Structure 1
Amino acid sequence: MSSSLTSSKQQSWIQKRPLLRDAYFTDLQNGSYIAFIYSIVESIFMICLVVFDIYCLSEAQPGTTNYRYFDISFLFVYSGNAHVRNLLIFCSAVSFLLSLYLLVSSFILLNALKKEHEQKFQPWLIAAFLFTVWRLIAIIFRSISNDIYYSYHQAMLVIWIILIAANIFFWLVVYSNFQELADITRLEDMAKLKMGTMSSLNASRSLSHHSINSMKNTQSNSLTPKGSYSTASV
């Protein structure tokens, strides 16, 4: 019994429009603007991080003896299996592309927020969703492959746990704003359709009354000469 009540509550929350009534500390519109700023900062941070990771992986190749460049110790860099190393580089490359996608879609979101055009929220929603899912997979893989003993990998794990949680929250805020604007647009369209239908019905009714009055006038005009002619003959 309790399980059925729990499932019904979860289902009602999922079906609720919008999912979030506000962004807890502000409304959905301002929360979406904060999500835009956050995604810009996060994408730039990810791009810089990818460049640093690829640089470290390229400098600390397996078999090299010099692991120190520009006062950076490369002992934390993975230098084991070549296939795992290539996967780490692949993860960085995909993260770079998704960061660019998120960066571009963030400016599209800004323009959509200014014009309240909810359909243009979709590129950001897709980009943020893909970026968040990929970063979750990538940080799990990196934490398993790399040695958590080093403070760099510990810091990356903690930072990305926080960022992924923030990504989920801001995605829900923007999606709730999208739902709210979509519902308003649908109500406006229904109101316009109703007004158009009522105006067309009123026009047809007025045309029908005019037609009936015209027919009455025609009949009365056609009967009057015959009546006068019959009276004259009597």
Structure 2
Amino acid sequence: MNYGRKTPSTYRSNHSVYSHTTGRSSTNLHSIKSRSMRSVRVPWYQRPILKNNQYIDIQKNSMLIGIFAIFLALFTIGTAIFDIYCLAMAAPGSTHYGYYIISYEFVYVGNKFVRNMLIVFALFSLILGIVILFTSILLVIALRKEYERKILPWLNTFAVFTIWRSLALIFFAIVNDLIFAYNIIMVLLWSVALVVCIYGWCVVYSLFLELTNLTKLEDLAHLRMGTMASLHASAANSLAGSRPTTPHSTVSTMPVG
């Protein structure tokens, strides 16, 4: 079975707003899905976390989350570069000028190991931000064309990114002085961003499960149709082979004496 091809969405028995052409009936797929889900027990990790209701539209929210992830990746890259620059400029024992442009009083200059951990968090955030930027662009393309297999890279990398940034936020909030405006703003912005990240991952994961289940049901329907067609063909061939043939009558001519 090919789980990577285009699959139409069946939310509210309408065609997908992102699909341009589709020849399959979403109503039939929805009825097949309802009958199959009643007869098959789905594991808990394969059940959608969120479902469509009057407040949530999974498809539109997934597209919005994809766009949000692109801007979040750009923000992460920018702040990570700035943090690495500030930590390098404010290294203990370094001499530099230009305090009239920026003051490095908000930068941590205490324990060497803590400072190195801040650099590590910033460096890996920079790398993950670049990865999220590419996977988010791929996610937007996959959502427009409904290729559920191409959603997987974003789900995996964004989960790692969210966990990493959560640890970085906790560490950043503990070791840095929250009397400076930059530190306070970063803690508040990342607190809100991580809440949106968790919600967004749940939305996209729910859409991914819906598309994957529809693809499986469609493959099962095609398999049943192919089996029935082959059975009808074999039955027709057997009837044609067992049909009795009428023998030709032979007429003997007697000589007239």
The aligned counterpart of 1:8 is none
After alignment, is 44-53 or 140-149 more displaced?
Answer: 140-149
Which of 73, 79, 91 is 1:49 aligned to? 79
Residues 85-124 of structure 1: pairs in structure 2 closer than 5 A = 85-124=115-154
Cα RMSD after superposing both structures: 2.3
Q: Please tell me whether the aligned partners of residues 46 and 209 of structure 2 are also in contact (alpha carbons under 8 angstroms).
A: no
Which of 7, 10, 17 is 2:47 aligned to? 17
**Whole-angstrom CA distance in 2 between matches of 1:143 and 1:66:** 27
- The runs of 5 or more residues in structure 2 that have no matched partner are 1-41, 253-257
Identical pairs, percent: 40
1:96-131: CA deviation from partner (whole Å, max 9, x where unpaired): 000001000011111111211101100111111011
Which of 74, 80, 96 is 2:104 aligned to? 74
Question: Structure 1 pair 23/125, CA: closer, same or farther in 2 (3 Å)?
Answer: farther
Question: Structure 1 pair 32/22, CA: closer, same or farther in 2 (3 Å)?
Answer: same
**Whole-angstrom CA distance in 2 between matches of 1:197 and 1:88:** 61
The aligned counterpart of 1:32 is 62
1:18-74: CA deviation from partner (whole Å, max 9, x where unpaired): 221138745211111101110011011111101111111111111346685353221
Question: Structure 1 pair 70/41, CA: closer, same or farther in 2 (3 Å)?
Answer: farther
Q: Please tell me whether the aligned partners of residues 23 and 173 of structure 1 are also in contact (alpha carbons under 8 angstroms).
A: no
**Whole-angstrom CA distance in 1 between matches of 2:165 and 2:226:** 50
**Whole-angstrom CA distance in 2 between matches of 1:50 and 1:37:** 20
**Whole-angstrom CA distance in 1 between matches of 2:70 and 2:134:** 9
1:166-212: CA deviation from partner (whole Å, max 9, x where unpaired): 00001111111101111111111111001100000000100110111
**Whole-angstrom CA distance in 2 between matches of 1:17 and 1:86:** 41
**Equivalent position amino acid for 2:175 in 1:** S
Structure 2 length as normaliser, TM-score?
0.75
Q: How many residues align?
A: 211
- The runs of 5 or more residues in structure 1 that have no matched partner are 1-11, 230-234
Which of 237, 242, 250 is 1:212 aligned to? 242
**Whole-angstrom CA distance in 2 between matches of 1:17 and 1:70:** 56
**Equivalent position amino acid for 2:73 in 1:** S
Q: Please tell me whether the aligned partners of residues 67 and 75 of structure 1 are also in contact (alpha carbons under 8 angstroms).
A: no
The aligned counterpart of 2:247 is 221
Structure 1 length as normaliser, TM-score?
0.82
More helix by share: 1
Greater RCO structure (CA 8 Å; 6+ sep): 2
Q: Please tell me whether the aligned partners of residues 47 and 206 of structure 2 are also in contact (alpha carbons under 8 angstroms).
A: yes
**Whole-angstrom CA distance in 2 between matches of 1:86 and 1:176:** 38
**Equivalent position amino acid for 2:202 in 1:** L
Question: Structure 1 pair 205/108, CA: closer, same or farther in 2 (3 Å)?
Answer: same
Question: Structure 1 pair 47/86, CA: closer, same or farther in 2 (3 Å)?
Answer: same
After alignment, is 17-26 or 47-56 more displaced?
Answer: 17-26
